[in-house]
């Protein structure tokens, strides 16, 4: 099986969700300065780039990123294309997700835009609340999307996050799916085990079947 890295690289100036801290790489030691090794300090938010949202992101006392069930983050997944002409991926676009599918990654028009330039854009495609409810009904354990947020909600009430996380569904955001077609894959996605963390930057890899 061919491994496909669908993670966002970390670099200064990378896209970040409004209000999140920017990524900073600060050199502390450098070989070219005559020091014995290279060493850097990284400054980043818990939801930088490709990252996982655990239930504790919106529900205090619920499962944090370091206590997520790793089985939910490893295994078969289905990449679904949707929302190409819409602001949201609707429930009807998920009607053909087979029963028994446990992990769903949403590939939208966001991927093509990010393939041209890695920058934040406000009119990104997200998942609708009805779409989230459809996936919860199908008992998925993980939903991923090619946006820094799973929903585009100007009200800032975050109903999609609350629907998914409230039912224990992990959310994987910030995927780069421009080089991935719809279909079945195997997902490996492990977040940094930030103790009691509300989120964790992650490396996400797909293997084609």
**What is the DSSP secondary structure assignment for residue 70, as one 8-state letter?**
G
The residue with tokens 């078969």 is 76
Q: Show which residues are catalytic.
A: 57
Give me the number of domains the chain comprises. Answer: 1
Question: What is the pTM (predicted TM-score) of this model?
Answer: 0.96
In a domain, 16, yes or no: no
Q: Return the CATH number at 141.
A: 3.50.30.50
In a domain, 29, yes or no: no
| Phi and psi angles of residue 104, each rounded to the nearest 5 degrees, phi first | -125, 130
pLDDT tens, residue by residue, 125-165: 999 999 999 999 999 999 999 999 999 988 889 999 999 99
Radius of gyration of the chain (CA): 17
Rounded Cα distance, 47 and 75, in Å: 23
Q: Which domain holds residue 139?
A: 3-9+46-208
pLDDT tens, residue by residue, 176-201: 999 999 999 999 999 999 999 999 99
């Amino acid at each position: 099986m061919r491994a496909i890295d669908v993670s966002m690289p970390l670099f200064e100036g990378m896209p970040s969700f409004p209000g999140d801290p920017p990524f900073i790489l600060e050199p502390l030691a450098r070989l070219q300065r005559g020091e014995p090794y290279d060493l850097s300090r990284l400054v980043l938010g818990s939801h930088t780039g490709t990252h996982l949202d655990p239930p504790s992101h919106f529900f205090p006392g619920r499962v944090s990123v370091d206590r997520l069930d790793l089985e939910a983050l490893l295994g078969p997944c289905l990449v679904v294309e949707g929302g190409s002409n819409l602001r949201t991926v609707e429930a009807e676009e998920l009607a053909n997700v087979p029963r028994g599918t446990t992990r769903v990654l949403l590939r939208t028009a966001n991927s093509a835009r990010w393939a041209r330039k890695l920058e934040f854009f406000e009119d990104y495609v997200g998942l609708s609340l009805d779409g989230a409810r459809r996936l919860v009904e199908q008992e998925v354990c993980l939903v991923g999307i090619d946006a820094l947020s799973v929903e585009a909600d100007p009200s800032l009430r975050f109903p999609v996050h609350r629907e998914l996380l409230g039912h224990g569904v992990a959310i994987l955001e910030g995927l780069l799916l421009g080089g991935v077609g719809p279909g079945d894959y195997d997902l490996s996605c492990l977040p940094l085990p930030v103790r009691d963390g509300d989120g964790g930057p992650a490396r996400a890899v797909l293997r084609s079947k």
